[in-house]
Amino acid sequence: MPEAALGRPLRRLAVLCLAALALLPIVNWIPGGHSADWYGITSSGWLTGSMIVVGAGVVLAILSRSLPWLWRPGICDPLIGRWQAAPRGGPLAVALLALACYLFVTLRVLGTRPLLIDEIIQTVQARIFAAGHLWAPQPTWPEFSSSMHLIDWGGKLYGQFPPGGPALAALGTLLGAEWAVGPVAGAVSVLLFGHLARRIAPTGGTALGATLLFALAPFAMFMSASHMSHVTVLTAIMAAALALSIVMGSDTPRPLAAFGCGVSLGAAATIRPVDALAFALPAASWFLLRAAQDRRCWRDALAAGLGVALPIGLLMWFNYQTTGA
């Protein structure tokens, strides 16, 4: 069987496996641990919503045969043509559209405030960083300041979360706009995704459609309007993915891009370590496999490793300064 023909069913199998892992209640099948008690209600919502979407799509497909104005072939061709003709302006335009949407949600819906406990504690840590400290002094009356996810130990008061997310949020604190960090980071993620899609998507229409979906999906919109660190870690991971595509798409070593990939993955680890690990392991495998096939590419692997080590070193230093370990 030709390699291309073999790759197609393998890709489809991989997609099915990922879908199964995402939707099946695997945690409920592991004895003696946590369980997702909400799975029944959530799966019912998924099933109902999917049936509505599929049903609406089928109805529209049937109606489009007798009502041509519902869908005209090639209706998006002018837009796709402009996207293809603007390799930098296209992704930037979608990112600016996303930024406007994210700012609207954070200003008009979420009220520019951290609402969940995770957001609140990371905002507290951001303000500690903005004041020029790694931690605040232990309060005299902790009953007035104690909270979940807030460490009050050894004369120090600080958030339990890794420092990368609060450090980026501290930039917003210094500028008096903590609420703007999420929308800006979300828009940067859209910009990076747009450039990545242009590199790897089979057609311009696919790249544009994927970028618009990435930017305007309700989950992405509301998350990017929040103070959650998921937004900034996504930005770091998207930067790593784009740099990785540059390295792997080149016939020659690209140590600078490899270093950028490593730094981005290391930065992601200072925000949400497990998320970063999920992307760093396959990236490391690709770097090592490429180096094994072409000895010149060991420079890329070493550059990526050095890039990862720098932010991880800062993370370990912060941990030592706060927890002593």
pTM here? 0.85
pLDDT for position 221: 95
pLDDT for position 5: 62
Query: Which segments in the chain show pLDDT lower than 50?
Result: 1
H or E element at residue 292: helix 273-293
pLDDT for position 4: 58
Query: 286 and 244 in contact (C-beta within 8 Å)?
Result: yes
Q: Write phi, then psi, for 32 (nearest 5 degrees).
A: 80, 10
pLDDT for position 25: 85
pLDDT for position 63: 87
Cα angle 129, 135, 136; round to 5: 105
Q: Report how far residue 131's alpha carbon sits from residue 135's, in angstroms, rounded to the nearest whole number.
A: 10
Give residue 180's Cα distance to chain centre: 17
3-state percent breakdown (helix, strand, coil) of the chain, nearest 5: 75, 5, 20
pLDDT for position 31: 84
